[in-house]
């Protein structure tokens, strides 16, 4: 199992804790951003970090792991591999979280929802609702990083690292007031 310091060292090694002025997927602004993809591209660390997260759910009789695209795909796969259960991911279609690609959930299936970073928990909440609609049972939520927004999912929440990173609405953002250029990180337009 990793200590908090060891996890931070891994993220720092791959420059995954970014500094600047970021527009988060929640619409909020932040001076820091955790770009987990920079760590997860390193297959050894992806495996080891997700194995450590999987251990937190080892006694929960998990039948399946699911994560939202894009950030949760690798985490879901690696956690599921460690638990020796299937891995699924959800996608948004016309703004609605859904299962595609022939994926399905059986009634009563015990499922862990995972994500790379949880900030507001919006995507995770959408996945939880989808699992419930399909009559699955969410036994917990796991993430590599919990950014400290204090989100309650109504089920146990387990993570590898809690990290307090302040976020702001656009009207209260001190970086906007200083006219610092805003960057929308993510898979399409994030550049280090």
Counted domains in the chain: 1
Residue 75 lies in a domain: yes
Residue 191 lies in a domain: no
**Which candidate, 101, 26, 109, places its Cα nearest to that of 71?**
26
d(CA 81, CA 50): 9
Residue 22 lies in a domain: yes
CATH number, domain of 124, equals 3.40.50.2020
Q: What pTM value is reported for the model? A: 0.88
Burial classification of residue 1, based on how many CB atoms lie within 10 Å of its CB (0-12 exposed, 13-18 middle, 19 or more buried): exposed
pLDDT of residue 62: 98
Both structure tokens of 156: 């146990």
Q: Find the domain containing 65 and state its range.
A: 4-177
Per-residue pLDDT of 3-21, as tens digits, reads 999 999 999 999 998 899 9
Per-residue pLDDT of 35-80, as tens digits, reads 999 999 999 999 999 999 999 999 999 999 999 998 899 999 999 9
Per-residue pLDDT of 158-186, as tens digits, reads 999 998 888 899 999 999 999 999 998 86
Please state, as a whole number, how many other Cβ atoms lie within 10 Å of the Cβ of residue 172.
11
pLDDT of residue 131: 98
């Amino acid at each position: 199992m990793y200590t908090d310091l060891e996890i931070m060292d891994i993220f720092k090694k791959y420059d995954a804790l970014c500094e600047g002025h970021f527009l988060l997927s929640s619409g909020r602004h932040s001076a820091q951003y955790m770009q987990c993809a920079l760590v997860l591209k390193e297959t050894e660390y992806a495996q080891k970090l997700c194995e450590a997260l999987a251990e937190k759910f080892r006694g929960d009789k998990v039948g399946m792991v699911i994560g939202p695209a894009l950030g949760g795909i690798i985490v879901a796969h690696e956690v599921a591999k460690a638990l020796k259960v299937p891995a699924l991911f959800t996608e948004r279609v016309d703004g609605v979280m859904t299962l595609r690609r022939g994926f399905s959930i059986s009634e009563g299936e015990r499922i862990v929802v995972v994500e790379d970073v949880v900030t507001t928990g919006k995507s995770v909440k959408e996945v939880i609702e989808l699992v419930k609609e399909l009559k699955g049972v969410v036994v917990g939520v796991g993430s590599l990083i919990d950014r400290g927004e204090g989100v309650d999912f109504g089920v146990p929440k387990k993570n590898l690292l809690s990290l307090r990173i302040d976020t702001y609405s656009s009207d209260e953002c001190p970086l906007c007031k200083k006219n610092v250029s805003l960057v929308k990180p993510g898979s399409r337009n994030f550049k280090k």
